[in-house]
Amino acid sequence: MSRIGKHPVPVPAGVDVKVDGQQVTAKGKLGQLSLTLIDDITASLEDGKVVVKPANDSKRARTMWATSRTLINNMVTGVSQGYTINLEINGVGYRAAVQGKELVMQLGFSHDVKYPIPEGISIKCDKPTAISVSGYDKHKVGQVAAEIRGWKKPEPYKGKGIKYETETVLRKEGKKK
């Protein structure tokens, strides 16, 4: 028995969830997301909660049970509250700013790095060294944050680069005389 899959997904007020066969759709104040479940998983709407169950006793059904439940939970949370990932920029002269529909970063290269902001994602730079990526699709928010971080990952000697707010950079000792 899956410990995660057996818990139903609560649907908060203001979120409309529809289950049509293998298609699950969540619509809220921030947007609309849909998910197609595999044939080994069934979902149903009972008492304002989405209940996910394996259709049979195969290994694939048992492994995808909790995964499907978590994906549905991420959809419901995303359209009701949204997701935010904060990034920090460390380094002399490293900074970022939002200009129109682009994130312009100065990361020590000979040119500015221009990152186009995808649809459904909002990026804010309250300070020149802080980037906030937010949206209603958890996967997309994480992907955009990882792509921005990928331009200049934090290095272990001085810690220069772009890192997640919660990330700790393991520092190495420099060379000795």
Give the mean model confidence (pLDDT) for residues 111-131: 94
pLDDT band at 176 (very low <50, low <70, confident <90, very high): confident
Give the mean model confidence (pLDDT) for residues 166-170: 92
CA–CA separation, 35 vs 14, rounded Å? 19
Mean pLDDT of the chain: 93
- Residue 177: what pLDDT? 80
Q: Does residue 2 carry a pLDDT above 80?
A: no
Q: Does residue 131 carry a pLDDT above 90?
A: yes
- Residue 175: what pLDDT? 87
